[in-house]
Amino acid sequence: MKKFLGIFILCIASISALAAASLTATVTEIAGKVECKLPGKEWRSAKTGDVLPAGSLIATGFKSTAILKTESAVLTVKPVTRLSLEELVKSEGTTKTQMFLMAGRVKAEVTPKEGEKAEFKVKSPTATASVRGTGFEFDGHNLLVDHGAVQFESGTGAGIPQMVASGEFSTLNQTGTVTAPTAVAADTSDNRLQAVYAHIASDTEASKNRQDIAKPIREEYGPGSTTISVGWDD
């Protein structure tokens, strides 16, 4: 009986291991100075074609970018950014990707394969962007949605959640609440978040509400976090 029980446990463990397969991210494009660090290895210059498993780090220099491709998403790592790939697995038809944004900003396009699901998270010290089937740019406090719809809320529970739709911008103000979404014009600058922030801050109609607009992420904020959940446009 014990022998059969042992065999049964081994079979279950094998099935579980197969069901949760490890995935990787591939560097598909590099511009400027980009470095990577694989688990247990030293930092080195990254190159196109590099395969990064979970636990890897990637960092970009000034005027430098990298594009990473996973099974369910394409991630653009913007200049002066450091990113950790925390989780890359596939389990029961769902790809699970989790990254930690130590500094800088990223742009994500999440497009799961037909018939499959994707759980894609980008965490920062103050916020989490949970993405599925959408495109957005995020720096930890400021959110710009390209397509899809994002529910943006403060982790402290202050204020009310805001649904940010395609072509809209929202941010955390200095009291820790989420501002009402603002429609923004298309912008092709390299740092779209900063361009949108500057535009809103200089808008005459918004001048009376400037104190409610979040400062750039480089400045200090109080304790708490932000939660983002994502849906789709009809």
**CA pair distance 209, 98, nearest whole angstrom:** 35
In 3D space, the residue among 168, 177, 174, 127 whose CA is nearest the CA of residue 149 turns out to be 168
Which pLDDT tens digit goes with each residue over 167-220?
A: 899 888 888 788 899 998 766 566 666 666 666 666 535 555 544 544 444 333
pLDDT of 234 above 50: no
- C-alpha 6/C-alpha 20 separation (Å) is 21
The CA-CA-CA angle for residues 60, 140, 97, to 5°, reads 70
Q: Domains in the chain, start-ordered, CATH in brackets?
A: 20-231 (2.60.120.1440)
Distance CA 173, CA 177 (A): 6
Is 162's pLDDT higher than 90? no
**Residue 179 — left, alpha, or beta (φ > 0 → left; ψ -120 to 50 → alpha)?**
beta
What is the spatial distance between Cα 82 and Cα 225, in angstroms, rounded to a whole number? 20
What pTM was computed for the model?
A: 0.70
* Token pair for 63: 């005027």
pLDDT in tens, 3-51: 554 544 444 444 444 457 999 999 999 999 999 999 999 999 999 999 9
What SS3 state is found at 173?
A: coil
Provide the pLDDT for residue 204. 36
Q: What is the pLDDT of residue 89?
A: 95
pLDDT tens per residue across span 55-104: 999 999 999 999 999 998 999 999 999 999 999 999 988 899 999 999 99
What is residue 86's predicted lDDT score, i.e. its pLDDT? Answer: 96
Q: Report residue 44 CA to chain centroid gap.
A: 24
